């Protein structure tokens, strides 16, 4: 697992390599709002300043690193590399597991599923027994295409049944329903950028697909929520996380949605309020 924070090549413990990322010192960071002294903030205030009002928070760089590390621990095994086969060039992106009260789904960007065939990459830690399934498994063709959102949805019953028949089982984490942003959270995203954390399987020069975290910014532009810069190859389809403050200054981590293909101003985000509304009533077989 790796993430990039201050420079290219910064890696998480036990990992190597990385991708570039944006970092900015916020006018009021979570660290300072909680009374911890920022290195450049001067003498500690007698009373912690109020955090920015409702909306996404632009975090202190050290806090960004902490959040990135914790995300890898909490949902790192929810993230899979996805590759479309049969197109030139082949499409490389990311898919992730999501669970709500109705069941479990694999989510990705619909643009990645246009290829005739697809495959999901596996790490040894994603299977039980470890490494039992090789490096890739075929992706089922039964994606539910929500073209109006740019999202593809795959109920995972078929993935689990195929694994059972092959003598192994999935050992994954999921992005939980409680973390997925609701309409109220999405509505509070404004034009002022906040910190964004994108967990993805990047594409290295040797073709390997390590787990990475890009620390970027997300903001509203018109009716759309967008990541404000173009991400490296392999990040389309990946989940986007942000930290939002309420009126009392309490902060919470939310999965805002998933990364769509880049346009002229970074990447649109398919927000989770709309994704959840587009899920089937019951997952059924995949």
* Secondary structure (DSSP) of 122-157: --GGGEESTTTT-SEEEPPS--EEETTTTEEEEESH
H-assigned helices in the chain:
30-33, 61-75, 157-165, 183-187, 272-278
Mean pLDDT of the chain: 81
Instruction: Say how far residue 282 (Cα) sits from the centre of its chain.
Output: 24
Q: Where are the domains of the chain?
A: 2-7+20-37+49-76+178-273, 77-176
Average pLDDT over residues 93-120: 94
Q: Which sign does the torsion angle of CA 118, 177, 145, 270 carry?
A: negative
Residue whose C-alpha is closest to residue 71's, from 185, 210, 183, 212? 212
| pLDDT tens figures, 168-179 | 999 999 999 999
pTM for the model = 0.80
Q: Give the pLDDT band of residue 141 (cuts 50, 70, 90).
A: confident
Q: Write down the pLDDT at residue 282.
A: 64
Residue 43, pLDDT above cutoff 60:
no
Q: Over the range 89-99, which residues count as b (16 or more CB within 10 Å of their CB) and which as e?
A: eebbbbbbbbb
Of all helices (H) and strands (E), which one includes residue 91? Answer: strand 91-100
Q: Give the pLDDT band of residue 88 (cuts 50, 70, 90).
A: low
| pLDDT tens figures, 183-214 | 999 999 999 999 999 999 999 999 899 999 99
Specify the residue for token string 């919470």: 252
Q: Which sign does the torsion angle of CA 250, 251, 256, 261 carry?
A: positive
Q: Which sign does the torsion angle of CA 127, 256, 218, 69 carry?
A: negative
Percent of the chain beyond pLDDT 70?
Answer: 77
Higher-confidence residue: 174 or 117?
Answer: 174
Q: Write down the pLDDT at residue 250.
A: 78
Longest dimension (CA), the chain: 63
CATH classification for the domain delimited by 77-176, as one of 2.40.70, 2.40.10, 2.40.160, 3.10.100? 2.40.10
CB 242 within 8 A of CB 259: no
Q: What is the domain class of 2-7+20-37+49-76+178-273 according to CATH?
A: mainly beta
């Amino acid at each position: 697992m790796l993430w990039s924070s201050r420079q290219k090549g910064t890696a998480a413990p036990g990992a190597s390599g990385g991708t570039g990322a944006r970092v900015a010192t916020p006018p009021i960071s979570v660290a300072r709002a909680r009374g911890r002294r920022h290195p450049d903030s001067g003498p500690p205030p007698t009373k912690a300043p109020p955090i920015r009002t409702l909306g996404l928070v632009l975090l202190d760089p050290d806090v960004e690193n902490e959040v990135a590390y914790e995300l890898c621990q909490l949902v790192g095994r929810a993230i899979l590399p996805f590759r479309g086969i049969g197109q030139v060039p082949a499409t490389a992106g990311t898919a992730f597991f999501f669970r709500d009260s109705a069941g479990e789904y694999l989510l990705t960007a619909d643009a990645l599923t246009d290829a005739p065939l697809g495959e999901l990459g596996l790490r040894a830690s994603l299977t039980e027994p470890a490494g039992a399934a090789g490096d890739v498994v075929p992706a089922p063709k039964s994606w539910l295409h929500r073209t109006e959102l740019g999202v593809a949805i795959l109920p995972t019953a078929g993935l689990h049944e195929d694994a059972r028949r092959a003598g192994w089982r999935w050992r994954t984490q999921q992005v939980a329903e409680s973390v997925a942003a609701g309409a109220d959270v999405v509505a509070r995203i404004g034009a002022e950028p906040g910190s964004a954390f994108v967990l993805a399987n990047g594409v290295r020069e040797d073709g390997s697909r390590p787990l990475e975290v890009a620390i970027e910014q997300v903001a509203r532009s018109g009716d759309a929520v967008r990541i404000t810069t173009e991400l490296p190859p392999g990040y389309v389809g990946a989940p986007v996380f942000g930290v939002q403050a309420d009126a009392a200054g309490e902060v919470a981590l939310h999965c805002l949605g998933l990364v769509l293909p880049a346009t002229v101003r970074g990447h649109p985000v398919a927000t989770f309020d709309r994704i959840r509304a587009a899920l089937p009533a019951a997952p059924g077989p995949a």
